[in-house]
């Protein structure tokens, strides 16, 4: 197993004079580029100023999907691409992405035939990569498939299939896959400037290690800006007067106890009052409900849900559930920012701004990727690396990621011995050894959740977790599932992390204070 520690990767950083590709940004896009480029044999460095997937990439609706609503907007090409990528992700990371059934409950006579028609087209676009056909349900069947759905006036439903995944764990898996193929990836390493040669061409970057305070001057043939909603910050390092390329749009999710939708199937509301779709999806033993689409003036690292957005989600979901959720039922709330292409004309509705990705090469040769979504991360990465080959005059190598199993993908689809550790895939066996090393680590981190203390140790030793938030928000998803449970677990997690990473009592106090402030944003206002 490749040694995935910050110390090892800092050593690699110091020992490599020139990189083929330097990637700025450790979210879905940047990590995808690192996997693609490293698997082609290039010398790759990826730098992330906070933690992997700390921004948008850990805050999705947890769906691997073609985007049913893009079909309604006529974006057939985008849907076809996403459906192809859905199939690849389900095959390349079976430990993290899997099939999920959805039901659209129908309360008006025309809805069943209308939605079935759209979903049949969706199936048609998936072709042989389909994962199950859409079909009609009677009122009794719809109520059976969706216990918890509002039965009054229910005329039936349409059932279809899409994918589901754990976004932050997939991001971490991409980081480890890139490292398995020789890439150097570092979190808490902020790019503070771009290096240019005598002709004005970008030939590297300066980076600041947020932990040690050390500054590095790095050389690279190609520099890729894959910073999501923060792309404009990097573009301004290149050209201070650069026009904004993206407009951040906020998407909010609320998490409810499982008894609001007690079955394994998800609820899809195809038409909300603002013309979007809303999902209520069983995920890791809770129900995730979202999302919204609100333009915000600027990108922030920890966006906060507005009271109006939370109210909209609860009210819309409440119309379709036997028990309408109230504010006091909410276990956690999170907000993420989408990097939408900045509209050229004022007043364009966010749901109309393109979700497809775009590549931009600056006059200096800086390669920027914007837009896209988790499902298409691999295709985006392929497009970036193909372009980087030309830009950096790199030896041409074909893309390998369409069939590349990701780190931990089990050799076969056999069930793993410990279902609670299934997200670790083939690493689950090594985690079991940790449990043998210290049986006390088999105790749960929080009551009612499958997470155990061995996972905290594993996160520190093998997954570059540096802070309590790295562990409780992204390695274990506790903050996203139940903010109060995460707050209760935090003191003991901090202690164990301090032991593993060799930190002082002062660090522990500071970590706790920071985490409490962070978690406050996940609690109901």
Locate the domains of the chain by residue range. Answer: 6-56+168-245+352-403, 61-165+247-345, 419-520
Q: Quote the tokens at residue 426.
A: 């083939």
The band of 355, judged by pLDDT with boundaries at 50, 70 and 90, is low
The three-class DSSP label of residue 395 is coil
The band of 75, judged by pLDDT with boundaries at 50, 70 and 90, is confident
The band of 402, judged by pLDDT with boundaries at 50, 70 and 90, is very high
Q: Mapped to the 3 state alphabet, what secondary structure does 299-318 carry?
A: CCCCCCCCHHHHHHHHHHHH
* pLDDT tops 90 at residue 234: yes
CB burial readout 410-437, b (16+ within 10 A) else e? eeeeeebeeeebbbbbebbeebbebbee
The band of 414, judged by pLDDT with boundaries at 50, 70 and 90, is low
Architecture in CATH of 419-520: Orthogonal Bundle (1.10)
d(CA 318, CA 322): 8
Our measurement of the distance from residue 248's CA atom to the centroid of its chain's CA atoms, rounded to an integer in Å, reads: 16
CATH number for the domain whose boundaries are 6-56+168-245+352-403 = 3.50.50.60
Write down the H helix ranges in 132-241. 139-145, 167-180, 231-238
What's the residue count for the chain?
525
What is the per-residue pLDDT for 354? 52
Q: What is the mean pLDDT of residues 310-315?
A: 96
Of the candidates 149, 263, 146, 191, the residue with the CA atom closest to the CA atom of residue 47: 191
* Phi, psi (degrees; rounded to nearest 5) at 103: -125, 130
What is the per-residue pLDDT for 346? 43
Identify the CATH class of 61-165+247-345.
Answer: alpha beta
DSSP-assigned beta bridge partners for residue 489: none
What is the per-residue pLDDT for 415? 54
* pTM score: 0.96
What is the per-residue pLDDT for 463? 97
* pLDDT tops 50 at residue 199: yes
* pLDDT tops 60 at residue 160: yes
How does DSSP classify residue 366?
Answer: -
- Return the minimum-mean-pLDDT range out of 76-80, 223-227, 279-283, 510-514: 76-80
Tens digit of each residue's pLDDT (9 = 90 or more) over 284-298:
999 999 999 999 999
* pLDDT tops 70 at residue 417: no
What is the per-residue pLDDT for 349? 45
């Amino acid at each position: 197993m490749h040694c995935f520690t910050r110390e090892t990767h800092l050593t690699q950083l110091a020992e490599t004079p020139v990189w083929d590709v330097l990637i700025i940004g450790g979210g879905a896009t940047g990590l995808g580029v690192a996997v693609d480029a490293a698997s082609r044999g290039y010398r790759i460095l990826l730098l992330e100023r906070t933690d992997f997937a700390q921004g948008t990439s850990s805050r999705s609706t947890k769906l691997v999907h073609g985007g049913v609503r893009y079909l309604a907007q006529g974006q057939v090409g985008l849907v076809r691409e996403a459906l192809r990528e859905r199939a690849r992700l389900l095959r390349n990371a079976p430990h993290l992405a899997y099939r999920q059934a959805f039901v659209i409950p129908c309360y008006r006579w025309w809805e069943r035939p209308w939605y079935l028609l759209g979903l049949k087209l969706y199936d048609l676009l998936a072709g042989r990569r389909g994962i199950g056909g859409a079909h009609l349900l009677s009122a009794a069947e719809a109520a059976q498939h969706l216990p918890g759905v509002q039965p009054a006036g229910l005329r039936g439903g349409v059932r279809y299939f899409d994918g589901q995944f754990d976004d932050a764990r997939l991001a971490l898996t991409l980081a480890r896959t890139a490292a398995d193929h020789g890439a150097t990836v570092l979190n808490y390493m902020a790019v503070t400037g771009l290096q240019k040669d005598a002709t004005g061409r970008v030939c590297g970057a300066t980076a600041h290690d947020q932990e040690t305070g050390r500054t590095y001057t790095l050389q690279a043939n190609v520099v890729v800006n894959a910073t999501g909603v923060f792309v404009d910050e990097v573009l301004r390092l290149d050209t201070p007067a650069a026009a904004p390329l993206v407009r951040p749009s906020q998407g909010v999710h609320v998490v409810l106890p499982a008894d609001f939708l007690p079955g394994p199937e998800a609820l899809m509301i195809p038409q909300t009052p603002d013309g979007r779709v809303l999902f209520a999806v069983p995920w890791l033993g809770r129900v995730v409900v979202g999302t919204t689409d609100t333009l915000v003036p600027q990108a922030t690292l920890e966006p906060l849900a507005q009271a109006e957005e939370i109210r909209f989600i609860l009210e819309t979901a409440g119309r379709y559930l036997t028990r309408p959720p109230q504010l006091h039922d909410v276990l956690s709330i999170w907000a993420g920012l989408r990097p939408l292409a900045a509209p050229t004309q004022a007043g364009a509705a966010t749901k109309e701004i393109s979700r497809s990705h775009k590549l931009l090469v600056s006059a200096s040769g800086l390669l920027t990727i914007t837009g896209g979504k988790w499902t298409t991360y691999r295709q985006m990465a392929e497009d970036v690396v193909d372009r980087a080959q030309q830009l950096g005059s790199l030896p041409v190598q074909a893309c390998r990621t369409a069939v590349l199993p990701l780190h931990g993908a089990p050799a076969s689809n056999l069930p793993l011995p410990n279902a609670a550790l299934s997200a670790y895939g083939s690493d689950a066996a090594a985690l079991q050894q940790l449990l043998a090393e210290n049986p006390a680590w088999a105790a749960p981190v929080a009551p009612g959740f499958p997470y155990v203390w061995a996972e905290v140790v594993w996160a520190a030793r093998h997954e570059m977790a540096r802070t309590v938030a790295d562990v409780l928000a992204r390695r274990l998803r506790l903050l996203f599932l139940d903010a109060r449970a995460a707050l209760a677990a935090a003191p003991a997690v901090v202690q164990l992390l301090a032991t593993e990473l060799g930190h002082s009592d002062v660090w522990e106090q500071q970590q706790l204070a920071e985490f409490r402030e962070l978690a406050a944003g996940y609690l109901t206002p």
